[in-house]
Amino acid sequence: MANQALIPVVVNGAAGKMGREVIKAVSQASDMTLVGAVDHNPEYNGKDVGEVAGLSEPLEIPITDQLEPTLVLATQERQLGVMVDFTHPSTVYDNIRAAIAYGIRPVVGTTGLSVAQIQDLAEFADKASTGCLLVPNFSIGMVLLQEAAVRASQYFDHVEIIELHHNQKADAPSGTAIQTAQMLAEMGKTYNRTTVEETEKLPGARGSVADEGIRIHSVRLPGLIAHQEVIFGAPGQIYTLRHDTSDRACYMPGVLLAIRKVLQLKSLVYGLEKLL
């Protein structure tokens, strides 16, 4: 492939658990070129991102803590650029706005954005006619689980979601659990109508209540990566859908697909399922 056809990619959060996987995946993709790696962890500032990601060869790209100058680098390429963001809920909103302001397409895995923030970003992307992808979960297994859950919701009126993650996770509930509950809520029914008066002897014992009565429970433990159960109940039966990750490589086909697809968009799109 001729050099000018390569998609320039900036990875934000490059030294993190997901960022390192993205560095490996992008550097091995024949239609992409890594132009910058950003991370605010001072331990990695100036270090070669290939070495930090565990590649056998350096990529000759030092990690910087300066996002905007790195976005500018991506604007100097002949192809439209993409920023992949796996950082932190506290910074992702500003990162997305900065990328759009520079005409760089955001592909965002970072969770924890509020509904109001997503709405605001959608308007911003719309006005700039710039594609932006927000994907709470890049694994195909989760897309399939969510599809099955939506189908099951036609037949079950009771459902609870349990999400289980490593204990370094900043936000709860997970973005995936929130999205799953939204999908079930959009089916236009109210779930979990109670037949008895419940008392929580310890606040939170019954989890949090999302739209349409759907309950979400969050577990955080070392030893976990990312897992989700959607449990449907009806008299005499339980239907359980479960997804487990054992390696963050599971997200990479979805991330690469999103990088390719975001270039064709002119507005904000939420969810990997919209790309399949």
Ligand X SMILES: O=C(O)C1=N[C@H](C(=O)O)C[C@H](O)C1
Catalytic residues: 165, 169
Kind and range of the H or E element at 28?
Answer: helix 17-28
Structure token digits, residue 175: 């973005």
Minimum CB distance to ligand NDP, residue 36 (Å): 12
Chain residues 160-199 in contact with ligand NDP, contact rule CB under 6 A: 169
DSSP letters spanning 64-82: ES-HHHHHHHHHTSSSPPE
Rounded distance between C-alpha atoms, residue 68 and residue 89, angstroms: 18
Q: Identify which of residues 6 and 261 has a Cβ nearer to ligand NDP in the complex.
A: 261
Residue 139, Cβ density class (10 Å: 0-12 exposed, 13-18 middle, ≥19 buried): buried
Minimum CB distance to ligand NDP, residue 23 (Å): 11
Residue 254 assigned ligand-binding role? no
The phi, psi pair for 10, rounded to 5°, reads -105, 135
Determine how many CB atoms are found less than 10 A away from the CB of residue 95.
22
| Eight-state DSSP code of residue 174 | -
Structure token digits, residue 93: 């909103």
The phi, psi pair for 44, rounded to 5°, reads -105, -5
Minimum CB distance to ligand X, residue 165 (Å): 5
Type of residue found at 144: L
Instruction: Give the range of 29-37, 73-81, 103-111, 207-215 binding ligand NDP by CB under 6 A.
Output: 103-111
Residue 106 sits in the site that holds ligand X (CB under 6 A): no
Residue 146 sits in the site that holds ligand NDP (CB under 6 A): no
Residue 258 assigned ligand-binding role? no
Minimum CB distance to ligand X, residue 231 (Å): 17
Near ligand NDP by CB under 6 A: residue from 7, 10, 13, 96 = 13
Which does residue 38 touch among ligand NDP, ligand X, none (CB within 5 to 8 A, set by kind)? ligand NDP
Rounded distance between C-alpha atoms, residue 237 and residue 43, angstroms: 52
Near ligand X by CB under 6 A: residue from 74, 226, 257, 259 = 226
Q: Which residues are annotated as a binding site?
A: 13-18, 109-111, 135-138, 166, 175-176
The binding site for NAD(+) consists of: 13-18, 109-111, 135-138
Contact residues for ligand NDP, defined by CB under 6 A? 12-13, 15-19, 38-41, 86-89, 91, 109-112, 135-138, 169, 251
